[in-house]
């Protein structure tokens, strides 16, 4: 009897174990037990990609101290607000009654970077373009009125200044030529009016040209640090807290950041700022060639033994390139030791130089390498059509401005419209456009091309008696 009882007990236990196992296996939902200390972090392990160094050691994102760069820079990046006036009718009645003229105050906002303790600030030209008033707010919430010192619309750089009652925190310039692809960077700015925002990423590419078929070749630093509307004019800094770029643009179908952001290299921005402070305008040096990035067609047609570089299609007479001995068919491989893989590499470096600077150009000519010292010459355009005004302007002949007791201005060479031909304007001086003194045709071109469509143009004209008159053109 006892044996029979023990046998039934064993069978019952086995049945229970099997039932419990089946429940665990097929019915009971899976649970994950997390210790309290683990629940405060991530339940999934994160592996950081390492950056190999020449010493054979590794560095990860976790081992880089971003706080040092953030602390050095966050107080030197400001919020820039601009106020302007535009004309637009509020309704059809107003349009027909007043010709569409109705003044409204508009506001835009962006970022800026303090670069000196006495209040010089660099930003994007498009942040302050068209402003009648500028207001700068520091990270400590103090606000100041700002004035425009100078602009470079072609490079989208502007220099403004505030008069603060204290010495200001500022960001020192770094060497953007030394920045490397894969290097960690921080973007500091005011996206969506959220002041003092810091994001991290790496340099994704250099010498990036967003308008490949535009004559105005660009040379941006590309980064994947998050940049959004409001970041324009803010700082791109390395982990040392040095300024290596001015955040300028994003490419996006939504208008918000999707992984591609672009900054004007600091070397180019610094050169523009130095020019504005020293000369009042940008001094552009050129080599004196036309050409483009090497492509498979050029390699085949000219039997070139390299697949990277800038092909020289022509050399301008009386240029630094001509005097140095550059020839059609040469391939530029290096400038001052900097590799030149595409045309944007060349323009990016040359734009950081001034006229009369000497650069050492390494060229490949019929499979032979030569190093030629080239003296840069000043970029000038000789004439420009002010189509909205109806005249063509040229740079003044030597000594011409003295007849009008002027040290600036451009000369009207001919009238373009039948209406303007009635007024015998040839030889008169345009001294200012929109209140800005003009010293060359290039400055006229930059001012006009920076304006919005249908925006009024105010021309200051010096007549034959030396009197100044102002005219507004739509």
How far, in Å, CA of 16 to CA of 50, rounded?
52
Q: Give the residue-averaged pLDDT of 34-50.
A: 28
> Residue 181 has what pLDDT?
97
Q: 120-123 and 157-162 as β-strands: parallel, antiparallel, unpaired?
A: antiparallel
Q: How confident is the model at residue 6 (pLDDT cuts 50, 70, 90)?
A: very low
Spatial contact of 401 and 430, defined as CB atoms under 8 Å apart = no
> Residue 65 has what pLDDT?
82
| Lowest-pLDDT range of 13-22, 191-200, 270-279, 339-348 | 13-22
Could you please state the CATH topology (level 3) that the domain comprising 184-279 is classified under: Thrombin, subunit H (2.40.10)
Q: Which H or E run includes 391?
A: strand 391-394
Equal fold, 285-378 vs 383-473: yes
> Residue 214 has what pLDDT?
52
pTM: 0.71
Could you please state the CATH topology (level 3) that the domain comprising 71-162 is classified under: Thrombin, subunit H (2.40.10)
64-101 tens-digit pLDDT: 889 999 999 999 999 999 987 655 555 555 545 555 55
Active site residues: 126, 156, 232
What is each CA distance from 114 to 229, 251, 262, 427, in whole angstroms? Answer: 20, 26, 20, 43
What is each CA distance from 385 to 129, 394, 438, in whole angstroms? Answer: 22, 9, 15
Residue 286, token pair as written in the block: 């050129």
How far, in Å, CA of 336 to CA of 372, rounded?
10
> Residue 99 has what pLDDT?
52
How far, in Å, CA of 395 to CA of 242, rounded?
40
> Residue 253 has what pLDDT?
77
Q: What is the Cβ-side half-sphere exposure of residue 262, based on CA atoms within 13 angstroms?
A: 18
147-172 tens-digit pLDDT: 999 999 889 999 999 999 899 999 99
Q: Which H or E run includes 292?
A: strand 289-293
Domains of the chain, residue spans = 71-162, 184-279, 285-378, 383-473
Q: How confident is the model at residue 23 (pLDDT cuts 50, 70, 90)?
A: very low
CATH architecture of 285-378: Roll (2.30)
305-314 tens-digit pLDDT: 888 999 999 9
> Residue 212 has what pLDDT?
57
Residue 407, token pair as written in the block: 């040290």
Q: 220-223 and 261-265 as β-strands: parallel, antiparallel, unpaired?
A: antiparallel
193-239 tens-digit pLDDT: 888 899 999 999 999 988 755 556 679 999 999 999 999 999 999 99
> Residue 103 has what pLDDT?
57
Residue 426 CB partners (closer than 8 Å, separation 6+): 412, 413, 414, 415
> Residue 22 has what pLDDT?
41
Asked whether residue 300 carries a pLDDT value surpassing 90, the answer given is no
How far, in Å, CA of 416 to CA of 286, rounded?
30
Mean pLDDT of the chain: 82
> Residue 156 has what pLDDT?
93
388-418 tens-digit pLDDT: 888 999 998 888 898 888 999 999 998 888 8
Could you tell me what percentage of the chain is helix, strand and coil, using 3-state DSSP and rounding each to the nearest 5?
A: 25, 35, 45
Percent of the chain at pLDDT > 70 equals 80
Q: How confident is the model at residue 387 (pLDDT cuts 50, 70, 90)?
A: confident
105-135 tens-digit pLDDT: 667 899 999 999 999 999 999 999 878 899 9
Q: What CATH number does domain 383-473 carry, 3.40.50.1950, 2.30.42.10, 3.70.10.10, 1.10.3720.10?
A: 2.30.42.10
> Residue 464 has what pLDDT?
84
């Amino acid at each position: 009897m006892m044996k029979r009882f023990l046998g039934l007990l064993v069978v019952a236990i086995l049945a229970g174990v099997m039932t419990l196992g089946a429940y665990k296996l097929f019915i009971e939902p899976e649970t994950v037990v997390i210790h309290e200390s683990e629940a405060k972090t991530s339940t999934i392990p994160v592996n950081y990609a390492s950056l190999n160094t020449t010493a054979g050691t590794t560095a990860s994102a976790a081992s880089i101290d971003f706080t040092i760069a953030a602390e050095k820079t966050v107080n030197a990046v400001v919020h820039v607000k601009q106020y302007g006036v535009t004309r637009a009718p509020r309704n059809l009645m107003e349009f027909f009654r007043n010709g569409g003229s109705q003044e409204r105050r508009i506001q835009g906002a962006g970022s800026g970077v303090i670069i000196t303790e006495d209040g010089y600030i660099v930003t994007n030209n498009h942040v302050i373009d068209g402003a009648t008033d500028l207001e700068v707010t520091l990270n400590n919430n103090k606000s100041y009125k700002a004035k425009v010192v100078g602009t470079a619309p072609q490079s989208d750089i502007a220099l403004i200044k505030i008069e603060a009652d204290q010495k200001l925190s500022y960001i020192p310039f770094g060497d953007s030529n030394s920045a490397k692809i894969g290097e960690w960077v921080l973007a500091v700015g005011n996206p969506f009016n959220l002041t003092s925002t810091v994001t991290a990423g790496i340099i994704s590419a250099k010498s990036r040209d967003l308008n490949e078929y535009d004559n105005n070749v660009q040379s941006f630093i590309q980064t994947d640090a998050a940049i959004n509307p409001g970041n324009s004019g803010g700082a791109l800094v390395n982990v040392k807290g040095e300024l290596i770029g001015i955040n300028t643009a994003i490419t996006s179908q939504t208008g918000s950041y999707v992984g591609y952001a672009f900054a004007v290299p600091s070397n180019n921005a610094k050169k523009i700022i130095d020019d504005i402070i020293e000369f009042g305008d940008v001094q552009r040096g050129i080599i004196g060639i036309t050409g483009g990035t090497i492509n498979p067609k050029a390699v085949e047609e000219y039997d070139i033994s390299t697949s990277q570089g800038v092909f020289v299609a022509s050399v301008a007479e009386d240029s630094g390139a001509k005097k140095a001995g550059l020839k059609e068919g040469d391939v530029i491989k290096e400038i001052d030791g900097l590799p030149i893989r595409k045309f944007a590499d060349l323009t990016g470096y040359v734009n950081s130089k001034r006229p009369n600077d000497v650069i050492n150009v390494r060229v490949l000519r019929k499979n032979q390498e030569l190093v030629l010292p080239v003296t840069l010459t000043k970029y000038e355009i000789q004439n420009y059509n002010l189509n909205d005004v109806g005249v063509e302007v040229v740079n003044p002949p030597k000594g011409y401005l003295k007849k009008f007791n002027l040290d600036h201005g451009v000369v009207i060479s001919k009238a373009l419209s039948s209406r303007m031909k009635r007024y015998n304007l040839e030889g008169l001086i345009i001294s200012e456009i929109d209140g800005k003194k003009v010293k060359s045709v290039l400055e006229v071109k930059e001012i006009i091309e920076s304006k919005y469509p249908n925006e009024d143009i105010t021309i200051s004209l010096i007549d034959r008696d030396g009197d100044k008159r102002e005219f507004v053109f739509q």
